[in-house]
Structure 1
Amino acid sequence: MRKFFGIASAVTALTFALTACGSTGTAETTAGAAGRASISEALKVGASPVPHAEILKFVKDKLAAKEGLNLEIVEFTDYVQPNVQLDDGQIGADFFQHKPYLDDFNASKGTKLSFVQPVHLEPLGLYSKKITDIAALARNATVALPNDATNLGRALKLLADNGLVTLKAGAGTAATERDVTANPKNLKFQLLEAAQLPRSLDDVDAAVVNGNYAIEAGLKPAENALVLEKAQGNPYANGLVVATGKEQDPRVVKLAKLLVSPEVKQFIERTYKGAVIPAS
């Protein structure tokens, strides 16, 4: 009886061991399958129409298939909803903003989004339909500026770099009108949503316009801007952003690599002719 019990126990133990091994193998197979499914699943990327969505479309049409990457491009015409939907999980990444804007958005909205890869710079420019030289900007002229925190600071720095205003020492990217310590021409500032700035040119003396919105409006930054932001040492490169913790999603890793590929750099240089500049 004891001998039979010992044999039965050994069989039971062997069965348990085989079952456990089988379970582990199944789990690993399932995990592997899930990983493959994740790679093949479409990555929804929110983007401003120009140039971000155009760059993504080039990647989708010319490069993504070779990498097994399935891109779905979702266009947005503002700077808020892409981050809101990314934080909510409605999209898997976005491509429209620079890191100072993202940092401010995270701080003010409580979102947890991470900057993955800088891709290009869109030089901010001062435009006007009334004058063709910055020296002709009249006293008491009205200048429209973007109303979001980081782009406002960036716009004021552009004015300061060109002698129109002086900013308080250390004001940095968070500068506001309150940081203007000297305004020789007594310029009046009108703060507007960035997307509205090109349309404001009929109503103001000049406007500082973000590069993507300038291009959408048919403006040519290299030709039409009274003054243009310099690329050297500029922290405002636009890049790929994901929800924190998703940086190593294999789809995101592949997209980040493609966005700084030689093919994309060449596309940016040929298409935008200095209005958009590769970040590296």
Structure 2
Amino acid sequence: MKLLKSLLIAATGLAALSAQAEKLVVAATAVPHAEILEFIKPKLAQQGVELDVKVFTDYIQPNVQLAEKRVDANYFQTKPYLNEFNKNRGTSLITGVAVHVEPFGAYSRKVKQASELKEGAVVAIPNEASNAGRALVLLDKNGVIKLKDPSNILSSVKDIASNPKKLKFKELEAATLPRVLDQVDLALINTNYALEAKLVPTRDALFIEDAQSPYANYLVTRTDNQAAPAVKKLAAALTSPEVKKFIAEKYKGAVIPAF
């Protein structure tokens, strides 16, 4: 009888805790963002926050759904990308904590180093401004091209001052770049998509951004919920020592903590 009573009390307590838990819906791309969020889910549950991770394969919908209040936050993007999105879409999403850096890399299945690229080789880069600029700046830094202003993170192919090998640039949706590796000579790929394609950036990239990359990935919210207790708990969990250790051990340099 005492055992039954104890079980009933425990069940009631769990039900009450569940009823009190605040649900937080966060949009993310699969790797590494959703994986990191899944890692902190139990910790947040202990703090009364039920984390629901919605995985997306593109960079547009996570912001659209956040602006439309269909999700509470998102975690997948850099500040330059968000600034460009807000400018073009008339939104006012805001960055919270910086969580990690994904060094952007250049990949090829046809050459082993950039100097082997032939005249007229095809180079694929992302088709939106912030990531296209990031790709071109990396190409400039590694001597493949010369930009008019190497510090301009929003450089486009029109801003190439010198292209000695007459490279041809194909601008494609970022998520598709790993899939066209066999069709182009070089592709500049965001690390999250490289990891999803089972590429190992520290091993497979011909060249890659270093640890000083300014492109941290942020937790992003709206002005109306940035100070919500559940969002603050999420931010704290994402920048905890446990997450720093998880990132270091799981991604082995392909993803670098930004805190």
Q: TM-score, normalised by structure 1?
A: 0.84
2:145 aligned with 1:165 = yes
TM-score by length of 2: 0.91
Matched, 1:191 2:171: yes
Taking the TM superposition and a 5 Å limit, the aligned residue runs for 1:115-264 are: 115-169=95-149, 172-232=152-212, 234-264=213-243
Counterpart residue identity of residue 43, structure 1: L
Structure 1 unaligned segments of length 5 or more: list them: 1-35
Identity %: 51
The equivalent of 1:270 in structure 2 is: 249
> How do residues 79-118 of structure 1 correspond to structure 2 at under 5 angstroms?
79-118=59-98
Q: Aligned-pair distance for 1:245?
A: 2.7
1:84 aligned counterpart, secondary structure = helix
| TM-superposition CA deviations, 1:136-190 (whole Å, max 9, x none) | 1111100000011100000000000000111112661111001100111111100
Aligned residue number for residue 58 of structure 1 = 39
Q: Which has the higher helix share?
A: 1
Which position in structure 2 is the counterpart of 1:78?
Answer: 58
What is the SS of the residue equivalent to 1:42?
strand
Alpha-carbon contact 1:126-1:206 (below 8 Å) kept: yes
Structure of larger gyration radius = 1
Report if the CA contact (8 A) 2:22-2:48 is conserved: no
Match of 2:22 in 1: 41
In structure 1, how many angstroms separate the alpha carbons of the residues matched to 2:122 and 2:20?
A: 51
Aligned residue pair count:
243
- The 8 Å contact of residues 39 and 250 in structure 1, kept in 2 or not, is answered as no
3-state SS, counterpart of residue 64 of structure 1? helix
Q: Partner letter of residue 31 of structure 2?
A: V
Change (3 A) 1:41 1:68: closer
